[in-house]
Amino acid sequence: MICWPAVGLPVVADVPPAPWPSWLLARLQPRLSAPSDHRVTVPDSSTLAGLVRTVAWVGEGERNCVTFWAACRAGEMVRSGLLDIDTAVAVIAEAATRAGLPRTEAERTALSGAKTGAGGYDVR
């Protein structure tokens, strides 16, 4: 609805607005999409072990990025209830230190990634 007085224009007739046409209302309704064949993969302990292996064996120059990526995946496990945030951070940070990252950097990166993967909220 346009409020003419709000933009400084005069009101010519003080009557209620005309009803919306049904064809226009129908276009405003949300459309239901057809079900997709998208499969949801639920992570398990072997997924976590794979993340740890990936982080522990990553080369110099990629450690921080891969640590963050793995922590995001672990955070997704936190969000799904399969893992708690402290365990996710500790496991990924330990793998990152074995790859050569300093402990504080590994923990900071793992915490940031886990929070991101868990939905971005403060889970601690």
Query: How confident is the model over 11-70, as pLDDT tens digits?
Result: 777 777 778 778 777 777 776 665 555 554 556 678 888 999 999 999 889 999 999 999
Q: Is the pTM of this model over 0.75?
A: no
Burial string for 9-26 (b: 16+ CB within 10 Å, else e) reads eeeeeeeeeeeeeeeeee
Per-residue pLDDT at 8 exceeds 80: no
Higher pLDDT, 3 or 26: 26
The pLDDT of residue 24 is 75
Which long-range contacts link 84-89 to residues 24+ away (Cβ below 8 Å)?
Answer: 85/114, 85/115, 85/118, 85/123, 85/124, 86/124, 88/114, 89/114
Q: Which of 90, 94, 88 is nearest to 75 (CA)?
A: 88
